[in-house]
Amino acid sequence: MFPASQGQGRRLEAIVSVINDQKRFIMASLSGGAQLEYLRAYGSKLYSILLQYFPNFRVELRCAAILLGDFKRLAESVGDFDVPMVNQKFNILLALANIFVVKATNLPLVLQEGAMGQVEMSIKYKYVMCRSDWETAGIQQILTDSNIHPPT
């Protein structure tokens, strides 16, 4: 299960601190197009790492709100980069985190609207499968009934 503890809060603070320190360094060291390109590359790499990291855990409903808050905090920190493409990517992470807080019966709608429309089904499905109620709530059947199938 995804860990929900005070230790997680400290880890998040450390991650946000590193992101902020890196941003300050970039802003002090680079300017113009070089600065923008570095922030874009840094934010995109961070997005890729987080996108691949979180599907390694089962997420219980009681931890989902914490996870959503963590994603919001990361998005705010990266939002300070003021790079629209990076902000869009972190909005996708927020949308993916919402998968864990909605009722199983609302998943088909959530998977198809807003920022989720930009996400490949294989990624969305990985996140849905991380829900602790994946089997007990019959989520696979709910998705199949809504004509949403696992990627091949």
Using one digit for the tens of pLDDT, what is the confidence trace for 37-80? 999 999 999 999 989 988 888 889 888 888 888 889 889 999 98
Tokens of 3: 């860990």
How many other C-beta atoms lie within 10 A of the C-beta of residue 97? 22
Reduced to 3 states, what is the DSSP secondary structure of residue 28? helix
Query: Could you tell me the pTM of the whole model?
Result: 0.82
Q: What is the pLDDT of residues 30-39, one digit of tens each?
A: 999 999 999 9
Q: What's the pLDDT tens digit per position in 83-136?
A: 999 999 999 999 999 999 999 999 999 999 888 988 999 999 999 999 999 999
> Which residues lie below 8 Å from residue 39, measured CB to CB, with a gap of 6+?
23, 26, 81, 83, 86
Displacement of CA 40 from its chain's centroid (Å): 17
How crowded is the C-beta side of 57, counted as CA atoms within 13 Å?
16
Distance CA 97, CA 100 (A): 6
